[in-house]
Amino acid sequence: MDDMAGGVSVPNDLEAFWMPFTANRQFKKAPRLFVSAEGMYYTTHDGRQVLDGTAGLWCVNAGHARPKIVEAIRHQATVLDYAPPFQMAHPGGFEVASRLAGLLPGDLDHVFFTNSGSESVDTALKIALAWQRARGEGSRTRLIGRERGYHGVGFGGISVGGMVANRKQFGTLLGGVDHIRHTHDLEHQAYSRGQPDWGAHLADDLERLVQLHDASTIAAVIVEPFAGSAGVLLPPKGYLEKLRAICDRHGILLIFDEVITGFGRLGRFSAAELFGIQPDIVTLAKGLTNGSVPMGAVVVRKPIYEAFMHGPEHLVELFHGYTYSAHPLACAAALAAFETYREDGLFTRAAELGPYWEDAVHSLKGEPHIIDLRNMGLLAGIELEPRPGEPARRAFDAFLACYEAGVLIRTTGDIIALTPPLIIDKPEIDRLIDTVRTVLRGID
């Protein structure tokens, strides 16, 4: 790989980089490198155009290299490259926080900045524990997650998360964590369009844990409004409402991990808004800067913030933060991303394109290997029957074949997830779906 391809030099040694969530040996034998991107397309190191069916990793919601975002980052780097976020600040952080407070429902109006979804999750869990203590409920130390949940890769996130592969290599994780059962059930839900009708009662599993542990030991429950990384598992109708009611009944905080569901994926700014449910804490990242600069945020309801604002005013109220919280470049990128989203109407575009997308996705019914299709907003899960004795192999083969055919998809286990930038048009939807169709017909 020491040649020049398309005028772009490529690295000649792939060994040193231990790649994240990647089959390193397979990759390094047949590398797939992107060297540039614009709009809906990546360009590969060998000069091919690849249609982005995954918005990068669920983050580039407005498409790649949007001029306002590019210019804002460039400009910010020349004006203020860095400012310490502890006991100092710069204007950008306050502006982004105010915008987020305005975009999220109800009194979700105080924002703590991080640099990723994983950090947002760990921050949210820490705030939940500290808040219970601040209000005199210090016995509430237990955190509840959900099977098949994904909340990033920090120790907090993998502890409340419920994806076996992400947990099993890492010892005993956080103590005092339990999980409600997941909501996926093909027998009752296969080929649902939008939210499945069946499964609201699965929220009652939280009541079971309350009976087991007692509410006085439980600080918070964290769920993704729909489970993304586990393969697009959509919430049954009425399920999230039930979770909210059970949390209210027992003084348990409800945390929505909106790292994927935020920023228009479902046709509204947030899942909280779409479903009309008021979580106590929301975690964000990814689309916050359109994926351009790492940034995450945790947004809490006003009473949570206020519970910390006691005691001598010169003392730090929450002993938590990151060197790069509210980084100037990230703030500039976020403000420009908000503007781009607004100009293009992208928070509602998934709702407008939704019916076309839904029909396109479900047109795959009956194609080889498919055992379920599910969709909402601009996302889809295509579940394949695993090859006997070779879990995840069939979907991985589909991923490689799609890439060869010029389309980027994402797979988890034997599930394909499609989550294109929200600027996708109808011919591109057709191309994405038709490529998957052709590929599935061509693999074992």
Provide the binding-site residues for ligand PXG, judged by CB under 6 A.
57-58, 116-118, 121, 150-152, 224, 228-229, 257, 259-260, 285, 410, 412
Least Å from the CB of residue 389 to ligand PXG: 24
The enclosing H or E element of 93 equals helix 91-103
Neighbours of 112 (CB within 10 A): 25
Least Å from the CB of residue 47 to ligand PXG: 26
Q: Which is nearer to ligand PXG, 118 or 435 (CB)?
A: 118
Least Å from the CB of residue 97 to ligand PXG: 19
Least Å from the CB of residue 8 to ligand PXG: 26
Least Å from the CB of residue 151 to ligand PXG: 5
Q: Which is nearer to ligand PXG, 210 or 329 (CB)?
A: 329
Least Å from the CB of residue 377 to ligand PXG: 15
Tell me how far apart the alpha carbons of residues 27 and 93 are, in angstroms, rounded to a whole number.
Answer: 38
Q: Which is nearer to ligand PXG, 282 or 429 (CB)?
A: 282
Q: Which is nearer to ligand PXG, 134 or 227 (CB)?
A: 227
Tokens coding 130: 């500290």
Q: Which is nearer to ligand PXG, 144 or 215 (CB)?
A: 144
Least Å from the CB of residue 49 to ligand PXG: 22
Q: Which is nearer to ligand PXG, 268 or 410 (CB)?
A: 410
The pair phi, psi for residue 334, each rounded to 5°, is: -65, -45
Tell me how far apart the alpha carbons of residues 224 and 231 are, in angstroms, rounded to a whole number.
Answer: 12
Q: Which is nearer to ligand PXG, 205 or 258 (CB)?
A: 258
Tell me how far apart the alpha carbons of residues 269 and 220 are, in angstroms, rounded to a whole number.
Answer: 24
Q: Which is nearer to ligand PXG, 20 or 389 (CB)?
A: 20
Least Å from the CB of residue 150 to ligand PXG: 5
Buried b (16+ CB within 10 A) or exposed e, 287-317: bbbbbbbbbbbbbbbeebbebbeeeeeeeee
Dihedral (Cα; 152, 255, 97, 296), 10-degree rounding: 0
Tell me how far apart the alpha carbons of residues 177 and 306 are, in angstroms, rounded to a whole number.
Answer: 27
* Per-residue CA distances from 165 to 153, 160, 182, 230, 277 (Å): 11, 14, 16, 11, 31
Q: Which is nearer to ligand PXG, 210 or 394 (CB)?
A: 394
Residue nearest to ligand PXG (CB): 117
* Residue/partner pairs of 357-362 with CB below 8 Å, 24 or more apart: 357/429, 358/193, 358/194, 360/429, 360/430, 360/432, 360/433, 361/418, 361/433, 362/191, 362/193
Nearest 5 degrees, angle CA 241-CA 246-CA 252?
Answer: 115
Q: Which is nearer to ligand PXG, 180 or 285 (CB)?
A: 285
For residue 264, with 0-12 CB atoms within 10 Å meaning exposed, 13-18 middle and 19 or more buried, which class applies?
A: buried
Neighbours of 98 (CB within 10 A): 12
Which amino acid belongs to residue 41?
Answer: Y
DSSP secondary-structure letter at 204? Answer: G
Least Å from the CB of residue 411 to ligand PXG: 8
The percent of the chain in helix, strand and coil, each rounded to the nearest 5, is 40, 20, 40
Least Å from the CB of residue 234 to ligand PXG: 14
Contact 382, 412 (CB under 8 A): no
